[in-house]
Amino acid sequence: MVTIALDMMGSDLGPKELAKGVELFEQKYGDACKLILVGKKEELPEGKHEIEEAQDVLAMETGAMDALRAKTSSMHRAVSLVKEGRAQGVVSCGSTGGFLSIATVVLRKIPGVDRAAFVAPFPTKIKGKPVIILDVGASNENNAKELTQFALLGSLYAKLIYQIEQPKVFLLSNGAEEGKGSPIVKEAYGLLKEDPKINFQGNIEARETLSGDADVIVCDGFTGNILLKASEGVAKTMSGFIKKAFKRNIFSKIGYLLSRKGFKEMSETMDYKNVGGAMLLGVNGVVVKAHGSSDGVAFFHSIEVAYRLLEGKLLEKIKEGLNQDE
């Protein structure tokens, strides 16, 4: 049976809210998976679950170095449970930079992986069909070889989480044609085209990430961060406009009541929270980063992602995939 360590202190909404997510997970999976709750004992639900006491909480803005030093924090303790073999996976809503550095340093990279990558599922036009994009910010730059490793890691992820047999992999570039892109993208194109393990489909432009054509989109961590945040920024700005448009006066409010069904569908499709947390691929453990403002449902989805990756034996498959290289 697999065990997942949960940092219960990381969400802006507090451990009581996260406990609802634990409850939901339990209702669905029962005894199939063991959970260890890490945090302040007095704020955690009593009873069913093993509790790992940790009195300190990392602030959301904690930097990498401070996070590494804060060994008594709930986040550091939760990751360490994986290191110690008491759990195989860990979920936290806390500081992204802190989680990244603790997970990379404590768990170390899988041999053959040069850089760990943050994977984020992105919504697309097609409801219920996310595209997974990596790296979205674990690195500040990546070389061509690292991009091909991301393609493999992303393919395995898509296969395990979305049951796609031959995930279609694209390379993010400034033009769809072969020969477009930065020098590193061009080099990666050549490597990916020759790689029999990757179902490589060529370049994709940033405009097409939402089209639903791609299962996996590969890019360096700096570019992935720009893509993710530009998309979130525009989506948020337009949602703001929509709210304002409907609140304008009594007529527009009635207008909302008459048309809200379609808008609800849009906000569900475009909701970056609905598609689950980001996952750090390439380290020795299943590491899932839930949103900082996760509610119970979002936390449940993140625990579920961790559970599926463990059940699907992600780590073993990554190791196998990398070894075929040699």
Given the complex with a second copy, which of 111 and 261 has the nearer CB atom?
261
Nearest distance from C-beta of residue 270 to a second copy, angstroms: 7
CA atoms of 146 and 212, how far apart (whole Å): 24
Given the complex with a second copy, which of 209 and 302 has the nearer CB atom?
209
- DSSP line for 74-132: HHHHHHHHHHTTS-SEEEE-S-HHHHHHHHHHHH-BPTT-SS-EEEEEE--SSTT--EE
| CA distances to 43, 50, 72, 299 from 46, in Å | 9, 9, 21, 19
Given the complex with a second copy, which of 61 and 326 has the nearer CB atom?
61
* Strands of the sheet with 169-173, listed across from one edge: 50-53, 33-39, 2-7, 89-92, 286-289, 278-281, 117-122, 131-134, 216-218, 169-173, 200-205
Given the complex with a second copy, which of 51 and 184 has the nearer CB atom?
184
CA atoms of 282 and 110, how far apart (whole Å): 6
Nearest distance from C-beta of residue 174 to a second copy, angstroms: 4
Given the complex with a second copy, which of 32 and 245 has the nearer CB atom?
245
Nearest distance from C-beta of residue 114 to a second copy, angstroms: 17
Given the complex with a second copy, which of 133 and 322 has the nearer CB atom?
133
Nearest distance from C-beta of residue 261 to a second copy, angstroms: 6
Helices (H) and strands (E) in the chain, counts: 10, 11
Tokens 């370049």 found at: 203
Nearest distance from C-beta of residue 252 to a second copy, angstroms: 4
**100 contacts 55 by C-beta, under 8 angstroms:** no
Residues near a second copy (CB under 8 A) are 125, 137, 140-141, 172, 174, 180-183, 185, 205-210, 221-223, 225-238, 240-242, 244-246, 248, 251-252, 254-259, 261-263, 265-266, 269-270
Nearest distance from C-beta of residue 234 to a second copy, angstroms: 4
Count the neighbouring beta carbons within 10 Å of the beta carbon of residue 111: 9
